[in-house]
Amino acid sequence: MQRKETLYLKIAKIIEEQIQNETLLLGDKLPSIRSVQKLHNVSINTAKQAYLELESRSLIESRPKTGYYVSKTSQRKLALPSVTAIADAGKGKTPEDLISKVYDTIAKPDVTQFALGLPGRNFLPLAKLNKGVIKAIRSRSDSGTDLEPVQGSEHLRREIAKWSLVLEGKVTEDDLVITSGAMNAIYHALMAVTKPGDSVAIESPAYFGILQAIKLLGLKAVELPTHPVYGIDLDALKKVLPAISACCFVTNFNNPMGFQMPDENKKELVRLITAYNVPLIEDDIYGNLYFGAERPKPCKFYDEAGLVLWAGSVSKTLAPGYRVGWIAPGQFKDKIIRQKLVQTVCNPSLYSDVIADFLEHGRYDHHLRMFRNKLYANYLQFQRAVETYFPDNTKISQPKGGFMLWLELDKRICTEDLYDAAGAMNINFAPGRMFSQHDQYNNCMRLNYAMEWNDRAEEGLQKLGKLVKNSI
Amino acid sequence: MQRKETLYLKIAKIIEEQIQNETLLLGDKLPSIRSVQKLHNVSINTAKQAYLELESRSLIESRPKTGYYVSKTSQRKLALPSVTAIADAGKGKTPEDLISKVYDTIAKPDVTQFALGLPGRNFLPLAKLNKGVIKAIRSRSDSGTDLEPVQGSEHLRREIAKWSLVLEGKVTEDDLVITSGAMNAIYHALMAVTKPGDSVAIESPAYFGILQAIKLLGLKAVELPTHPVYGIDLDALKKVLPAISACCFVTNFNNPMGFQMPDENKKELVRLITAYNVPLIEDDIYGNLYFGAERPKPCKFYDEAGLVLWAGSVSKTLAPGYRVGWIAPGQFKDKIIRQKLVQTVCNPSLYSDVIADFLEHGRYDHHLRMFRNKLYANYLQFQRAVETYFPDNTKISQPKGGFMLWLELDKRICTEDLYDAAGAMNINFAPGRMFSQHDQYNNCMRLNYAMEWNDRAEEGLQKLGKLVKNSI
């Protein structure tokens, strides 16, 4: 592994120099991956890794179906966040209060909401959803009062299976269980594959919901070093695999880092967990919000042993308040259905109808196309605004999709303190401390850019940047 | 306590003899409780207990605001179920498969459904609910896509608090948390007040959902002897109180036994749990389905220490498929809100609006009046049918409300075997084995009488009775 790593970095360095000495100019097309392979006499994977590395540093960019180009953002001003060495289990105060504080702002319309992982209303097809609800209620004879099957509406499960083209038919309606959003899916999955006291490997920084679920179930979180472009360090994972009971990762457009784990890494990840017989809970709620040419594969695609529990929802893309999510739990399906029977019996049936209908008639895919375009435009606006208003030593993630931006600020800054100061100006963000069980990421923050881009948003970022500058 | 018990039984015996030797005739009014008190020189509670005892044996009945009368059902043919001595923890097979089997019949319209705790469609105001959904969707600007506050819709909480007149203002909107049905409330409550390995006192027979939740959370169930008319044996509870972490009881119109715990017992129960600082989870979902003059008080009414977690829902009375429930968790509110954030984030908002509106405009109370009348008529039909078609040694519970009938059959009968035979005839009931962790109640069954009373129902009971007769 070490040799391979050196090789791809060497190739990347050569191309980087060509860009810097302007042998390759902005907008120039790069040689194909096959050419690189032949030129340097390396494997196709090494050639790909070299390009991924350059892409991760914003020096080059891939364009759908045509190839790689010297990036327009190769003049990107700000660096990527660092890979954080995981702190020792500290005794610092827990982030629960911070999380409650952030969630308490849900219903406050006067707050410029950069904190929560929710799409703004301008992203959502409200009129079509209204129609869908009225259609659903009128086409039912029970007004939604009947209980659904515990596993979930058959119609909805069938439509999700059909719509999940990325899995190429590997998941059928029978493999799916409907849940109250993806967080509920993850909770069920963790419960099904562990017992209290067990350890679960997670990314770091990690989505705080996962951290909280692990804690609530009496489990231990093992935070792994996580690269801002490739995701978890597979070598580090390999070391802990014999001692853990499950992995729980956000593999596509990670929350909070925005990375898309490369296919090679996903394959290797599935190979590893299969070898060690450790279930992988894959939170893939952002997978359809890609900026690139196509929907990235989830690890579930490579899973032959039924060890990957693949979770999704419409909460990030269509209707957060409907609480409709799902999971394809592989081997653990029966266990999860039983848990669901005890915990909630079943889901409200009306929303199942609405979402199934949306999927069936292509309205969801149509909506997602619009959503992705808006989202990418917003990302560029946010990136520009942060470059403009924040200090030059700000490090910024480079999401490949999704709607989270991760900022690493000057070491002297404590974003938890900043949170209150920003709150006084009715501006909200997620302080970095929420994303670890350890006392770290205190100088980081997560911003949600799936909101209406307007003067208010621009001003919000401007004020936030000023606040950061004044805090040093 | 022993002396008091003897006294009330002595008084009851005197009156029973008067009825049997026809000193008191069918329909005669009995002396008031105060007269009994003076006549026998006993406390008011002892006099009440005596009447309760007679009522429990169907010898007398209370009529709203006028007093007690010699009962029309004093000619009741069948005896009450026995108080069961709790079996030792056996190694018999667990009832999970049985429960799954029963739930698998949810969506089968050709099955005559005596098994599940669900009201039939003819009991539900479907047209009004349809209107409610359309009104709610039209009056929202977000199509229900916004997330509700984690604690639950303020509007819904306010309306539940206002509607809960029985609590005389002791529960406010701020005390309530909205849940995905009452089962979800109980799951949250158990999780909030225990840790894995703890013991929880329950009734026996117990609602199987409670048994399953206890098991899922790694807790131990302590089944207490339960009287078919008074509920749990408080002396037995007292003995286990020092060793348990919580109680979980269905105090009003118990599932499966149908009893209403007398007020005196509720007061004493709250006194006991307060003395031992043991939380009581009170499942009060049937409380509004009373056959008597008024809605019985829940234990929550007597709770000063915030130790009673009072759970309710509309699933038994209005809309099972909406999954709208609530809990007033006393001291444990913040803990439950945090659990909810992790497990489901929040509830779907549309249904909160529909139910809040139903409560606000008196439609729920109006509906409940109709529901209770139908239910009582059905109960009488079921009682008659069981008396007619089942063997004479069948014992039958005497519900004071709710919609569950508990039958104790000849010892030689195994209702789990009967279940398959009945299933072959498309008739469904809940076998007694589901209601205990121990290998008992094998000769019992629970019937749901909240269904449309028609020839199909009558025939179903006739066939079931025949099956029982042929099994001996």
Which tens digit of pLDDT belongs to each residue from A4-19? 557 888 888 888 888 8
Extended beta strands in B34-164, E state: 60-63, 67-70, 112-113
CB atoms within 10 A of CB A35: 11
Instruction: Flag if B322 and A144 touch (Cβ within 8 Å).
Output: yes
**What is the C-alpha to C-alpha distance for residues A347 and A351, in angstroms, rounded to an integer?**
9
**What is the C-alpha to C-alpha distance for residues A434 and B248, in angstroms, rounded to an integer?**
35
A-contacting residues in B 318-337 (Cβ below 8 Å): 318-323, 337
| End-to-end CA, chain A | 41
Instruction: Flag if B323 and A338 touch (Cβ within 8 Å).
Output: no
Dihedral sign for Cα atoms in the order A181, A187, A191, A192? positive
Which residues have CB under 8 Å from A150's CB, separation 6+?
A337, A340, A341, A345, A346, B103, B106
CB contacts of A180 in chain B (<8 Å) are 180, 343-345
CB contacts of A320 in chain B (<8 Å) are 145-147
From B13's Cα to the closest Cα of chain A, the distance in A is: 44
From B64's Cα to the closest Cα of chain A, the distance in A is: 33
- Which of B127, B218, B321 is closest, CB to CB, to A146? B321
Q: Does B218 contact chain A (CB < 8 Å)?
A: yes
Determine the residue among A343, A363, A371, A451 to mutate to test chain B binding: the one whose Cβ has the most chain B Cβ atoms within 10 Å. Answer: A343
How buried is B247 (Cβ within 10 angstroms: 0-12 exposed, 13-18 middle, 19+ buried)? buried
CB contacts of A106 in chain B (<8 Å) are 147-150
**What is the C-alpha to C-alpha distance for residues B316 and B120, in angstroms, rounded to an integer?**
10
From B155's Cα to the closest Cα of chain A, the distance in A is: 13
Query: Average pLDDT in the B425-441 region?
Result: 94
Which tens digit of pLDDT belongs to each residue from A121-172? 889 999 999 999 999 999 999 999 999 999 999 999 999 999 999 999 999 9
- Which of A107, A133, A183 is closest, CB to CB, to B344? A183
What was the pLDDT predicted at B249?
98
Task: Report domain B96-123+366-471's class.
Answer: alpha beta
Between A90-94, B48-52, B98-102, B454-458, the lowest mean confidence (pLDDT) is in: A90-94
Let me know: does A20 contact A44? Beta carbons within 8 Å: no
Which tens digit of pLDDT belongs to each residue from A420-461? 999 999 999 999 999 999 999 999 999 999 999 999 999 999
CB contacts of B138 in chain A (<8 Å) are 130
Residue B41, by phi and psi: left (phi above 0), alpha (psi -120 to 50) or beta?
left
pLDDT at B38 over 60: yes
**What is the C-alpha to C-alpha distance for residues A275 and A305, in angstroms, rounded to an integer?**
10
Task: Kindly state the tokens that stand for A437.
Answer: 């069980």
3-state helix, strand, coil in chain B (%, to 5): 45, 15, 40
Instruction: Flag if B183 and A344 touch (Cβ within 8 Å).
Output: yes
CB contacts of A133 in chain B (<8 Å) are 133, 137, 143-144, 350
CB contacts of A347 in chain B (<8 Å) are 323
Mapping DSSP to helix (H, G, I), strand (E, B) and coil, where does residue B148 land? coil
C-alpha count within 13 angstroms, C-beta hemisphere, residue A327: 32
Which one has a higher pLDDT value, A26 or A240?
Answer: A240
Determine the residue among B98, B122, B147, B313 to mutate to test chain A binding: the one whose Cβ has the most chain A Cβ atoms within 10 Å. Answer: B147
Task: Write the DSSP assignment of B202-218 as a string of letters.
Answer: EEES--HHHHHHHHHTT
What was the pLDDT predicted at B1?
43
Write out the H or E segment, with its range, that includes residue B221. Answer: strand B220-227
CATH of domain B144-364: 3.40.640.10
pLDDT at B305 over 90: yes
Instruction: Flag if A145 and B121 touch (Cβ within 8 Å).
Output: yes
Q: How far is CA A358 from CA A119, A366, B281, in A?
A: 18, 10, 40
Please give the DSSP secondary-structure letter assigned to residue B27. Answer: T
How many helices and strands (H and E) does chain B possess?
15, 16
B-contacting residues in A 174-203 (Cβ below 8 Å): 180-181, 183-184, 187, 191, 195-196
**What is the C-alpha to C-alpha distance for residues B126 and B132, in angstroms, rounded to an integer?**
10
Which tens digit of pLDDT belongs to each residue from B317-337? 999 999 999 999 999 999 999
Please, what is the average pLDDT of chain A? 91
**What is the C-alpha to C-alpha distance for residues B178 and B324, in angstroms, rounded to an integer?**
7
Instruction: Flag if A320 and B147 touch (Cβ within 8 Å).
Output: yes
Range list of H helices, B57-174? 96-103, 126-139, 154-163
Instruction: Flag if A341 and B100 touch (Cβ within 8 Å).
Output: yes
Closest among B411, B362, B375 to B391, alpha carbons compared: B411
CB contacts < 8 A (A, B) = 185
Q: Give the strand pairing for A199-204 and A220-227.
A: parallel
Which one has a higher pLDDT value, A356 or B46?
Answer: A356
**What is the C-alpha to C-alpha distance for residues B147 and B350, in angstroms, rounded to an integer?**
10
Let me know: does B324 contact B181? Beta carbons within 8 Å: yes
What was the pLDDT predicted at A444?
97
- CA-based nearest residue in chain A for residue B319: A145
Mapping DSSP to helix (H, G, I), strand (E, B) and coil, where does residue B228 land? coil
From A435's Cα to the closest Cα of chain B, the distance in A is: 14
What was the pLDDT predicted at B61?
83
Q: Which one of 3.90.1150.10, 3.10.100.10, 1.10.10.1200, 3.30.1600.10 gives the CATH number of domain A96-123+366-470? A: 3.90.1150.10
Determine the residue among A94, A143, A190 to mutate to test chain B binding: the one whose Cβ has the most chain B Cβ atoms within 10 Å. Answer: A143
Residue B72's pLDDT band, with cuts at 50, 70 and 90, is low
Instruction: Flag if B348 and A351 touch (Cβ within 8 Å).
Output: yes
Which residues have CB under 8 Å from B445's CB, separation 6+?
B406, B407, B409, B415, B418, B429, B430, B431, B432
A-contacting residues in B 97-116 (Cβ below 8 Å): 99-100, 103, 106-107
**What is the C-alpha to C-alpha distance for residues B444 and B428, in angstroms, rounded to an integer?**
14
Q: Which one of 1.10.357.10, 2.40.30.10, 1.10.10.10, 1.10.1840.10 gives the CATH number of domain A2-75? A: 1.10.10.10
Dihedral sign for Cα atoms in the order A323, A326, A329, A335? positive
Mapping DSSP to helix (H, G, I), strand (E, B) and coil, where does residue B31 land? coil
For chain A, the structural domain boundaries read 2-75, 96-123+366-470, 138-362
What are all long-range contacts of B72-77, with beta carbons under 8 Å and residues at least 24 apart? B72/B26, B72/B27, B74/B19, B74/B26, B75/B26, B77/B387, B77/B392
Please give the DSSP secondary-structure letter assigned to residue B69. Answer: E
Instruction: Flag if A147 and B346 touch (Cβ within 8 Å).
Output: no
pLDDT at A92 over 70: no
Which tens digit of pLDDT belongs to each residue from A190-199? 999 999 999 9
Between B84-98, B257-271, B359-373, B401-415, the lowest mean confidence (pLDDT) is in: B84-98
CATH of domain A138-362: 3.40.640.10
Q: What percent of chain A has pLDDT over 70?
A: 96
What SS3 string covers chain A? CHHHHHHHHHHHHHHHHHHHCCCCCCCCECCCHHHHHHHHCCCHHHHHHHHHHHHHCCCEEEECCCEEEECHHHHCCCCCCCCCCCCCCCCCCCCHHHHHHHHCCCCCCCCEECCCCCCCHHHCCHHHHHHHHHHHHHCCCCCCCCCCCCCCCHHHHHHHHHHCHHHCCCCCHHHCEEECHHHHHHHHHHHHHCCCCCEEEEEECCCHHHHHHHHHCCCEEEEEEEECCCEECHHHHHHHHHHCCEEEECCECCCCCCCECCHHHHHHHHHHHHHHCCCEEEECCCCCCECCCCCCCCHHHHCCCCCEEEEEECCCCCCHHHCCEEEECHHHHHHHHHHHHHHCCCCCHHHHHHHHHHHHCCHHHHHHHHHHHHHHHHHHHHHHHHHHHCCCCCEECCCCECCEEEEECCCCCCHHHHHHHHHHCCEECEEHHHHCCCCCCCCEEEEECCCCCCHHHHHHHHHHHHHHHHCC
Instruction: Flag if A344 and B344 touch (Cβ within 8 Å).
Output: yes
